[in-house]
Amino acid sequence: MENSETQVWLDFSLSCKYINRETYNDYLKRTEEVGKMLNHMIENPEKYK
Protein backbone atom coordinates (compact mmCIF):
# COMPACT_ATOMS: atom_id res chain seq x y z
CA MET A 1 0.00 0.00 0.00
CA GLU A 2 2.81 2.41 0.79
CA ASN A 3 4.18 1.96 -2.71
CA SER A 4 0.83 3.00 -4.18
CA GLU A 5 0.75 5.98 -1.85
CA THR A 6 4.18 7.01 -3.12
CA GLN A 7 2.82 6.98 -6.67
CA VAL A 8 -0.06 9.24 -5.60
CA TRP A 9 2.39 11.69 -4.04
CA LEU A 10 4.43 11.67 -7.24
CA ASP A 11 1.28 12.56 -9.20
CA PHE A 12 0.57 15.34 -6.73
CA SER A 13 4.14 16.63 -6.93
CA LEU A 14 4.03 16.73 -10.71
CA SER A 15 0.64 18.47 -10.75
CA CYS A 16 1.90 21.13 -8.36
CA LYS A 17 5.12 21.50 -10.36
CA TYR A 18 7.32 20.48 -7.44
CA ILE A 19 9.07 18.07 -9.81
CA ASN A 20 9.45 18.02 -13.58
CA ARG A 21 8.22 15.30 -15.95
CA GLU A 22 11.67 13.70 -16.25
CA THR A 23 12.01 13.30 -12.49
CA TYR A 24 8.43 12.05 -12.26
CA ASN A 25 9.02 9.39 -14.91
CA ASP A 26 12.25 8.28 -13.25
CA TYR A 27 10.69 7.90 -9.81
CA LEU A 28 7.54 6.30 -11.19
CA LYS A 29 9.65 3.69 -12.95
CA ARG A 30 11.45 3.01 -9.67
CA THR A 31 8.18 2.56 -7.78
CA GLU A 32 7.01 0.10 -10.42
CA GLU A 33 10.19 -1.93 -9.97
CA VAL A 34 9.77 -1.90 -6.19
CA GLY A 35 6.18 -3.10 -6.68
CA LYS A 36 7.37 -6.01 -8.81
CA MET A 37 9.92 -7.00 -6.17
CA LEU A 38 7.35 -6.79 -3.37
CA ASN A 39 4.86 -8.89 -5.34
CA HIS A 40 7.52 -11.52 -5.96
CA MET A 41 8.29 -11.65 -2.26
CA ILE A 42 4.58 -12.00 -1.40
CA GLU A 43 4.03 -14.72 -3.98
CA ASN A 44 7.22 -16.63 -3.08
CA PRO A 45 7.74 -16.23 0.66
CA GLU A 46 9.65 -19.50 0.91
CA LYS A 47 12.55 -17.93 -1.00
CA TYR A 48 12.93 -15.21 1.65
CA LYS A 49 13.04 -17.25 4.85
Model pLDDT, residue 1: 77
For 7-32, give one letter per residue: b (16+ CB within 10 A) or e.
Answer: eeebeeebeeeebeeeebeebeeebe
Model pLDDT, residue 3: 86
Residue 5 has pLDDT above 90, yes or no: yes
Q: Give mean pLDDT, residues 7-32.
A: 97
- HEC sequence for the chain: CHHHHHHHHHHHHHHCCCCCHHHHHHHHHHHHHHHHHHHHHHHCHHHHC
Count CA atoms closer than 13 A to 30's CA, side-chain side: 8
Q: Give mean pLDDT, residues 17-38.
A: 96
